[in-house]
Amino acid sequence: MEMTDLKILAIDTSGKIASVAITDADKLLWEKTVFTKLTHSQVILPMVSKALEETGLDYPDIDCIAAAKGPGSYTGLRIGVGAVKGICMGAPHIKAAGVSTLMALAYNVSAYEGKIAAVMRARPKIIYGAVFECKGGRITRVTEDKVCGEEEFFSQDFFTGRIMLVGDCAYEIKAARFADNDEVITAPANAVLQRASSLCMAVNDNTELLCEADVLEVSYLQATKAEKDKAHRDIP
């Protein structure tokens, strides 16, 4: 098996959507993305089962299971990464892969040539963000993932010239900050939120993301509520 010939099952539970995809090298075999009011734990494994059933595949056929590792919803990320670990425990031949949610969002618009700002709302006036460059369908990083204030993020030097916004607050930021700037555009509706197939694309391009399931970890970028509460209790 060539590293570029991976059959990848991908799970994204990092936001309000639930998304599952299966790819075979550069071929998309199956994908479903739903904006759900149910918890991810209720919908994601049935979606995985349906993906395998409708493609005629089973776990022995899968080489890698990829998950969005963060940033994003604390609970959603734990569910997605936990699902990957659980599946791999029962099928130890399968490699795992954790993909930055922001990088995967950039892959949503890999047909775009130029700078891409992936942005997600963390809390009021605070965002998760990273900037990427896309050339010839290949995504490269310009900045690391970070959580910071909007003012700090958008005051950086690279916000000049053409740039595409993608992520759950892309439209909001365009309207509030760049309404009169025609060089700042937003991803179309079918590409602005997370898609599991983008995780597959990221793994195919970055096989160093492959790992054993037991070392797969969530990247929150900020302290969880439990950690914040503990820190507050530990203050003398």
Please give the helix or strand (H or E) that residue 174 lies within, else none. helix 170-177
Q: Specify whether 16 is located in the same domain as 96.
A: yes
Q: Is residue 200 part of a domain?
A: yes
What's the rounded Cα separation, in Å, for the pair 98 and 70? Answer: 9
Would residue 212 count as lying in a domain?
Answer: yes
Element (H, E) at 164: strand 163-166
Task: Fill in the amino acid letter for 156.
Answer: Q
Residue 30 lies in a domain: yes
pLDDT tens digit string along 94-131? Answer: 999 999 999 999 999 999 999 999 999 999 999 999 99
Shared domain check, 121 and 91: no
The dihedral over CA atoms of 202, 206, 210, 216, expressed in degrees to the nearest 10, equals -60
The number of distinct structural domains making up the chain is 2
Cα separation of 8 and 97, whole Å?
10
Domain that holds residue 117: 108-186
Residue 132 and residue 58 share a domain: no
The four Cα atoms 41, 218, 171, 206 give a dihedral, to 10 degrees, of -110
**E strands, 17-100, in order:** 17-24, 27-35, 64-70, 95-100
Quick one: 94 and 124 in the same domain? no
Residue 147 shares a structural domain with residue 68: no
The verdict on 60 and 93 lying in the same domain is yes
92 and 32 inside one domain: yes
Give me the phi and psi of 40, to 5 degrees please.
-60, -30
Same domain, 129 and 173: yes
Query: What is the mean predicted confidence (pLDDT) over 55-67?
Result: 97
| Short-list 201, 69, 85, CA closest to 128 | 69
Burial (CB count <10 Å: 0-12, 13-18, 19+), residue 166: buried
In the predicted structure, residue 235 carries a pLDDT above the cut 70: no
- On the question of pLDDT at 135 being above 80, the answer is yes
pLDDT band at 222 (very low <50, low <70, confident <90, very high): confident
Q: Are 67 and 94 part of one and the same domain?
A: yes
Same domain membership, residue 69 and residue 11: yes
Listed in sequence order, the residues at least 6 apart from 147 whose beta carbon sits closer than 8 Å to its beta carbon are 71, 122, 126, 127, 128, 129, 221, 222
With 60 as the cut, is the pLDDT of residue 2 above it?
no
**Distance from first CA to last CA of the chain, Å, rounded?**
57
**Of all residues in the chain, what percent are helix, strand and coil, respectively (each to 5)?**
35, 30, 35
Mean pLDDT value of segment 83-87: 96
Establish if 92 belongs to a structural domain. yes
Same domain, 34 and 74: yes
Structure tokens at 206: 């970055």
CATH number, position 34: 3.30.420.40
Task: Please check whether residue 39 lies inside any domain of the structure.
Answer: yes
pLDDT in the model for residue 158: 78
197-213 pLDDT, tens digit each: 999 999 999 999 999 99
Q: Is residue 63 part of a domain?
A: yes
pLDDT on residue 4: 60
Residue 1: strand, helix, or coil: coil
Mark whether 95 and 199 lie in a shared domain.
yes
Mapping DSSP to helix (H, G, I), strand (E, B) and coil, where does residue 43 land? helix
Question: Average pLDDT in the 46-51 region?
Answer: 97
